[in-house]
Structure 1
Amino acid sequence: MKRILALLMPVIVLAVLVAGGFFLMQMLKPQPEKAEEQARGLSVFAEAAELTDLELTVSAQGEVQPQRQIIVAPQISGRISFVSPDFIDGGFIREGQVLVRLEAEDYRLAIVRAQSGVASAEQRLAREEAEAELAIQDLEELGITNTSPLARREPQLAEARASLDSAKAQLADAQLALNRTAVTAPFSGRVRERNADLGQFVSPGQALGTIFATDVVEVSLPLSDEEMGRVGLPLAFAETKSTQGPDVIFKANVAGQPRQWNGRIVRTSAAISPQTRLITAIAELRDPYGTGSDNGVPMAPGLFVNAEVEGEQVQNVVRVPRSALRGVDEIYIGDGPAGKLEIREVELVFSDETGAYVSSGIEPGELAIVSPIQAAFDGMNIQVVERMPDGELISRTPRKIDAEPESADGAALASGDVEGASQ
């Protein structure tokens, strides 16, 4: 037994020494510093606000209409004996050009009869004048001074003169009817449609076709009161040499190609539409088939066009993405270094697909949050990732450790945030 104890004693002592040394080393080992990572906020995308000048525009739609369009109709009856080859659907016509001519024989005969009536009336007037002179001489020779107009043949003379005037009027009427056998174009333009042809008998006022002038076309643009103010138009506007209306750009697809034409608003309606409560602005394009065309493509009547009306210019406004606008007048601002969200009220000037333009409430360079956020509040923890114009994503909120991050670790965490945002 003593021999066994003598053999185990060194092993037991060695084990006790090793255990005691290990325990002592653990007791004397310095405690590691604990690095507590702050709670990470919601990652959001943001874009920088920029200072710019805003040119207000108003978009509207309307149908192109000719300024002058008439129905061609004869003033007399007759059979059509001639139709101009230009008087066809889509034909070009000139001012004063004969479009349709009616048979004129009956009207020439009427002129002959009227000329005969004039000759008879002239002969009767001459006879009455001679008889009136003889009657006055006879009365003077007899010494009769107190005579009646009938004795001096004055009523007979007046009747003869009236008969001559009537005969001349009938001659002028016959001549006018003969002239009206030729139906002419009152202006240069194009034929929209033709409803008559050679040999057809027509009556006064019967429609022979429709023509329109090609010097000016118009587009009626319905605008709201707010849009009228945006382009600087009063209710009863009429363009003058000193006061011109705003420019308008018309756009439409013609034959599968986008086309545009440049016109101008020349007047507005005098009253507000009771049905739509809108005001009609009349935009005008001159010479749509010539100098006003787009490389020879006219803005033809009947074409439905989109119109952009140029409005007033606003200097020094701040533009943010349209998605950054919350409700009517709120924007979420992301403080990148602090990782905090701020809710601000702004004064909105204008908003369209290009962005929201505000005059106050945000400064150029500040980050406007574009990500959707539910239950947002001031001071909310966020991770701001700025989206650059070229699409690059840059984290603006480094992850903090003990509120004093090292630059290397912070840069690495920022890089990790960007990768996560990109995913």
Structure 2
Amino acid sequence: MKRIIMLILPVLVLAGLVVGGFVLMQALKPQPERAEEEPRGLSVFAEAAEIRDLSLTVKAQGEVKPKRQIVVAPQINGRISYVSPDFIDGGFIREGQVLVRLESEDYRLAIVRAQSGVASAEQRLAREEAEAELAQQDLEELGITETSPLARREPQLAEARASLDSAKAQLADAQLALNRTAVTAPFSGRVRERSADLGQYVGPGQSLGTIFATDVVEVSLPLSDEELGRVGLPLAFAESSTEKGPDVIFTANVAGQPRQWEGRIARTSAAINPQTRLVNAIAELKDPYGAGSDDGVPMAPGLFVNAEIEGRYIEGLVRVPRSALRGVDEVFIGDGPAGKLDIREVDVVYSDAEGAYVADGVEPGELAIISPIQAAFDGMTIQVVERMPDGELIQRTPRNKPDTDSEDEAALAAGDMDGVEQ
């Protein structure tokens, strides 16, 4: 028995020492401090809203067309005996210039025949006038006062006068036909194409070619109802001396070089296009081959151009980044000192890739949040970091223990959004 006790006693003493040491260590261990910092909110980037004036513009495209373009055609039959050297594709023509002349011999003969008819009618009228005068003298010598018009030869005299008028009309018609053997240009311009040549027999209305005036060209620009309002055009607009249309800048590449021309909206179309539901605004450019050209390069018909229409000018709007606009009319505003999210409804006047312009709902200097936020709600706790125009990042929400967030601060200072809690 004593031997067993001697064996067990050391084990018990050793176990007691281990347990006592563990209890002593636990008793002497310092208690951890409790953190009083509130849960940290979501870190978001924001940019300051700023006051801006807005000059609205509308972009459109269209094809250049001449304001006046006609098909050159004769009014009579005949064989072409002359073609102007300017009456070629691309030729310049002047108002009143003879483009084509038809053979005139037949029409000159017709004038001779008509002149002969006039002479015969004049001789007949003279004879009837003399006979009527003799008949009146005979009646007076016989003392007859009441006679019929036939006895006084009044119907015969009227017929002779009518015959003379008819003969003169035939002469005028023959002269007119002779004049029409020369086909002239009704305006100054250019020849688009020619479809007849020397020696060809043509008839009335047959196309000899196409010409267009170079004083004005126009471009039809299809606009939506919203775009009409942006440029301030009513549905039925026509430019007048008191009401000028919006300015238009046309651009296109010609011979590999960018070109620019300045025109003006002259009118809008009379009706809405039933297929596209758009309204055409007709822009005009005066003297495209002269003063309206770009360093001698004209805005020629057939050219496809881009157009930028000057719109309304609005002062005193507030601009926020385009990425700050949520949906149609909401902006998230970050209250930096309080670290809270404020969801605002705004009146958006216009937005593009650069920003959204609002008339109400945001004040200049407020921080518009540009970071994506899921399940956002009003009053949500956030950490606002302002991005300055030069790219610098500034922490706008104060922190209780900055040493615990050193990794986030390093990421913000480097401009790395992946290093910030999103």
Q: Normalising by the residue count of structure 1, what TM-score does the alignment of the two structures yield? A: 0.86
Give 1:275 shift: 2.8
Partner of 2:399: 400
Moved more, 33-42 or 159-168: 33-42
Return the alpha-carbon distance in structure 2 between the equivalents of residues 275 and 413 of structure 1: 56
Partner of 2:95: 95
Return the alpha-carbon distance in structure 2 between the equivalents of residues 156 and 199 of structure 1: 49
Label 1:91 to 1:127 Cα distance change in 2 as closer, same or farther (>3 A).
Answer: same
The answer to whether the 8 A contact 1:221-1:281 is kept is yes
Partner of 1:189: 189
- Structure 1 residue 61 corresponds to structure 2 residue 56: no
Letter in 2 for 1:362: V
The answer to whether the 8 A contact 2:393-2:415 is kept is no
Give 1:211 shift: 0.8
For residues 304-323 of structure 1, the C-alpha deviation after alignment (integer angstroms, 9 at most, x for no partner) is 22222222211100112222
Moved more, 232-241 or 274-283: 274-283
Give 1:422 shift: 6.0
The answer to whether the 8 A contact 1:38-1:400 is kept is no
Partner of 1:232: 232
Return the alpha-carbon distance in structure 2 between the equivalents of residues 115 and 389 of structure 1: 92
The answer to whether the 8 A contact 2:411-2:417 is kept is no
Give 1:32 shift: 7.5
Letter in 1 for 2:96: G
Letter in 1 for 2:120: S
Matched position secondary structure for 1:204: coil
- Structure 1 residue 44 corresponds to structure 2 residue 44: yes
Return the alpha-carbon distance in structure 1 between the equivalents of residues 350 and 392 of structure 2: 28
Partner of 1:9: none
Partner of 1:158: 158
Return the alpha-carbon distance in structure 2 between the equivalents of residues 39 and 294 of structure 1: 65
Letter in 2 for 1:419: A
Partner of 2:413: 418
Label 1:414 to 1:338 Cα distance change in 2 as closer, same or farther (>3 A).
Answer: farther
Return the alpha-carbon distance in structure 1 between the equivalents of residues 38 and 105 of structure 2: 108
Partner of 2:220: 220
Return the alpha-carbon distance in structure 2 between the equivalents of residues 299 and 353 of structure 1: 30
Moved more, 80-89 or 374-383: 374-383
Instruction: Mark the runs of 5 or more structure 1 residues left unpaired by the alignment.
Output: 1-15
Return the alpha-carbon distance in structure 2 between the equivalents of residues 394 and 247 of structure 1: 42
For residues 349-382 of structure 1, the C-alpha deviation after alignment (integer angstroms, 9 at most, x for no partner) is 1112232100111122222222333322234444
Partner of 1:82: 82
Return the alpha-carbon distance in structure 1 between the equivalents of residues 398 and 51 of structure 2: 30
Give 1:346 shift: 0.8
The answer to whether the 8 A contact 1:385-1:393 is kept is no
Give the number of aligned pairs. Answer: 397
Matched position secondary structure for 1:291: coil
Matched position secondary structure for 1:315: strand
Return the alpha-carbon distance in structure 2 between the equivalents of residues 42 and 207 of structure 1: 77
Return the alpha-carbon distance in structure 2 between the equivalents of residues 227 and 212 of structure 1: 31
The answer to whether the 8 A contact 2:288-2:300 is kept is yes
Return the alpha-carbon distance in structure 1 between the equivalents of residues 167 and 51 of structure 2: 84
Letter in 2 for 1:287: D
The answer to whether the 8 A contact 2:385-2:397 is kept is no
Give 1:383 shift: 4.2
The answer to whether the 8 A contact 1:398-1:414 is kept is no
- Structure 1 residue 139 corresponds to structure 2 residue 134: no
Return the alpha-carbon distance in structure 2 between the equivalents of residues 389 and 362 of structure 1: 19
Identity %: 79
The answer to whether the 8 A contact 2:87-2:93 is kept is yes
Instruction: Mark the runs of 5 or more structure 2 residues left unpaired by the alignment.
Output: 1-16
Letter in 2 for 1:394: L
Give 1:89 shift: 1.2
Return the alpha-carbon distance in structure 2 between the equivalents of residues 386 and 88 of structure 1: 68
Return the alpha-carbon distance in structure 1 between the equivalents of residues 114 and 305 of structure 2: 56
Letter in 2 for 1:163: S
